[in-house]
A and B are shown apart, each in its own frame.
Chain A
């Protein structure tokens, strides 16, 4: 009797396996790229492309809607999709690229485009961009350009840094709102007046405890929304123009670090240890625990959701009047190993996304990114939407002094290494000179290991 049960179970397992496998081969046909039977149906001309993107809660629905509309307009192109949560998407993508199973066209985080480009995973789009896009019409196209001038992706949405400030906290402290003429020193001065410790004392008062802060003047976090724009506006930086050499160990960087470390030791700016007591480093500003932050455009989502009374302005100037605003352009990239026919269909999708005003407008309404098309970014849809912040113009003004994050094939690696050393300086575990020297050595090693092989 028991033997029968076992036999029955085993057969069940195998039959279910076979059944699921059977069902799946139908659905994989729809969902993956390698299926060669795309043209098996009546319509000989039809091309099926697989599109990969990372899903983001509410934006999923809009993406599907835009894809459906694209298919209506292009009856010969069928789009199948695959999506994953943000973090998992890129983990999977690496596996898929290794197995030659990656989507025909995918949405890449702006900072990762060069990683794929320099490893030969995505197509050079220079020719098509020159042919079909009027470069003057777009923001951020150049951020996907390598040092040889080749384009590797087309922007899907733009993130650009600005200075966020909490109006209520400024009003309460009687401090004037940040102006466009501020230098980083001005910012620190104002930030000092906006810093409050646990016993409600300000830095200027006696008995102020910089170790136990209730409200910070400025919150500060990692590269994009932290040290990068400060270094740049002080005239420093991380990599030279070739993006193959470190320029970390410089006098300018030292000055910038002195500004940051001084602010952190006084409790005005959040140091890496302070950030640990929050839900996430991104939550400090929305929770009203900091009067200012360096933030990319997408941070309006959390600030609005938290119901903050805030606005934005351009980032402050360095001591010599230089300014810098970091840009990340999430971009559409096309798989290098996909067939020509599919690549062309994928290009149609990219073109549809960037040239159609309607698409740009509807995506802009989600409030996740600055539209790539200038005409839409400068229209009422973006600038005068009812949502805060009021001064959205500041994001557009920032394009005048915007720049990339020195993204190259080993970006994630060198950023992690630099953060490690910067952290030691920020927490005053190591003198600034020493931290910069070590960071320089380690970052250079990462670059040499990759580029000289």
Chain B
């Protein structure tokens, strides 16, 4: 009897899971079908879910309309360098705030947190002028350089993580002859991989989808990143929406690949902690 009850519960669980999975997948399926429609089908009301003839040619058409290989390559450079830069710089600064002693430590930390309150649009003109002076406009550098200079959210996250690790590690490593950098690099850093992964994922997502900064800094088409490239498919008067959907779907593929590979790695790290 109990066993039967258990199975019914399990069944209901599966049904709920299946339904929620379908709800989550719906937008993607809709987008996929939309990307295979003609313009007339795309705008049709009531909407036609499945196109009559699949317009596979929409995909090659996207490549004719824009340099999508360039855009993807640029997006990879920007995101890759940003992720590496963010992971290293945030963990270093976070470690300093958590473990080192230096004058005005807390005041400085409050200032760092304070900068989180400033909306990005406010600093865009000063940033623009700085990069103009550095002769870096219309290059990819402004898009990733700032991430290498430690962003407040990452600093905050890393500091909290480092604080949660007992001080004993620091003392015993000192006894074993580690200098502060070695303590950070060899002892502490391997213990905070999950938080590093969080910083990496956040940076990756923000940078991959970023629109404001690239649209301000980049002027030549071959330097565009994917989001700007996709937007430039539409004109002032006419959207080319079905191509935009196709392009947007293609821009998802690299993210999917990254997540498929990274997920296993992230999960592994949560289980390997140094605390006994």
Q: Does B45 touch A at the CB level, under 8 Å?
A: yes
Contact with A along B185-201 (1 / 0, CB 8 A): 11000000000000000
Bound Cα distance from A21 to B233, whole angstroms: 28
**Contact, CB under 8 Å: B43 / A298:** no
**Contact, CB under 8 Å: B135 / A56:** no
With A6-B185, A56-B235, A99-B128 known to touch, is A28 a contact of B135 (CB < 8 Å)?
yes
Q: Does A204 touch B at the CB level, under 8 Å?
A: no
**Contact, CB under 8 Å: B233 / A57:** yes
**Contact, CB under 8 Å: B237 / A299:** yes
Please give, as numbers and ranges, the residues of chain A lying within 8 Å of B185 by CB-CB distance.
Answer: 2-3, 6
Q: Does A31 touch B at the CB level, under 8 Å?
A: yes
Q: Does B81 touch A at the CB level, under 8 Å?
A: yes
Please give, as numbers and ranges, the residues of chain B lying within 8 Å of A368 by CB-CB distance.
Answer: 235, 237-238
Q: Does B2 touch A at the CB level, under 8 Å?
A: no
Q: Does B116 touch A at the CB level, under 8 Å?
A: no
Q: Does B154 touch A at the CB level, under 8 Å?
A: no
Nearest to B148 among chain A residues (CB) is A13
For the complex formed, measure the closest distance between the CB of B114 and the CB atoms of chain A, giving whole angstroms: 24
Size of B's binding interface in residues, CB under 8 A: 51
Binds B, one of A143-151, A251-259, A301-309, A341-349: A301-309
Please give, as numbers and ranges, the residues of chain A lying within 8 Å of B140 by CB-CB distance.
Answer: 20
Bound Cα distance from A341 to B125, whole angstroms: 28
**Which residues 211-269 of B have a CB within 8 angstroms of A?**
211-212, 215-216, 218-221, 228, 231-241, 243
Please give, as numbers and ranges, the residues of chain B lying within 8 Å of A23 by CB-CB distance.
Answer: 139
Q: Does B141 touch A at the CB level, under 8 Å?
A: yes
**Contact, CB under 8 Å: A57 / B65:** yes
Q: Does B163 touch A at the CB level, under 8 Å?
A: no
Please give, as numbers and ranges, the residues of chain A lying within 8 Å of B228 by CB-CB distance.
Answer: 84-85, 88
Bound Cα distance from A57 to B81, whole angstroms: 30
Binds B, one of A71-79, A129-137, A275-283: A275-283
Contact of A280 among B135, B239, B243 (CB under 8 A): B239
Bound Cα distance from A296 to B88, whole angstroms: 53
Please give, as numbers and ranges, the residues of chain A lying within 8 Å of B84 by CB-CB distance.
Answer: 9, 13
With A27-B220, A99-B128, A289-B45 known to touch, is A86 a contact of B234 (CB < 8 Å)?
yes
Please give, as numbers and ranges, the residues of chain B lying within 8 Å of A95 by CB-CB distance.
Answer: 124-125, 128, 216
Bound Cα distance from A59 to B125, whole angstroms: 30
**Which residues 13-36 of A have a CB within 8 angstroms of B?**
13, 16-17, 20-21, 23-25, 27-28, 31-32, 34
Nearest to B238 among chain A residues (CB) is A301
For the complex formed, measure the closest distance between the CB of A296 and the CB atoms of chain B, giving whole angstroms: 8
Q: Does B69 touch A at the CB level, under 8 Å?
A: no
**Contact, CB under 8 Å: A24 / B141:** yes
**Which residues 131-173 of B have a CB within 8 angstroms of A?**
132, 134-141, 145, 148
Contact of B135 among A3, A25, A55 (CB under 8 A): A25
Bound Cα distance from A81 to B221, whole angstroms: 9
Please give, as numbers and ranges, the residues of chain A lying within 8 Å of B243 by CB-CB distance.
Answer: 57
**Which of A55, A81, A302 has the largest count of B CB atoms less than 10 A from its CB?**
A55
**Contact, CB under 8 Å: A287 / B136:** no
Please give, as numbers and ranges, the residues of chain B lying within 8 Å of A109 by CB-CB distance.
Answer: 236
Contact of A13 among B85, B124, B186 (CB under 8 A): B85
Q: Does A91 touch B at the CB level, under 8 Å?
A: yes
Please give, as numbers and ranges, the residues of chain A lying within 8 Å of B85 by CB-CB distance.
Answer: 13
Bound Cα distance from A283 to B44, whole angstroms: 9
List the interface of chain B (C-beta within 8 A of A).
Answer: 39-40, 42-45, 65, 81, 84-85, 88, 124-125, 128-129, 132, 134-141, 145, 148, 181-182, 185-186, 211-212, 215-216, 218-221, 228, 231-241, 243
Question: What 7 pairs between A and B have smallest CB-CB spacing?
Answer: A56-B235, A82-B219, A298-B237, A24-B139, A88-B215, A85-B231, A287-B43
Q: Write 8 A-B pairs (CB below 8 A) sorted by A numbering.
A: A13-B81, A13-B148, A17-B141, A28-B138, A32-B219, A58-B65, A86-B235, A95-B216
Beyond contacts A28-B139, A54-B235, A286-B39: 14 other A-B pairs, Cβ-Cβ < 8 A, are A21-B135, A21-B141, A24-B136, A55-B221, A55-B232, A56-B238, A58-B65, A83-B232, A280-B239, A298-B236, A298-B237, A301-B237, A302-B238, A305-B39
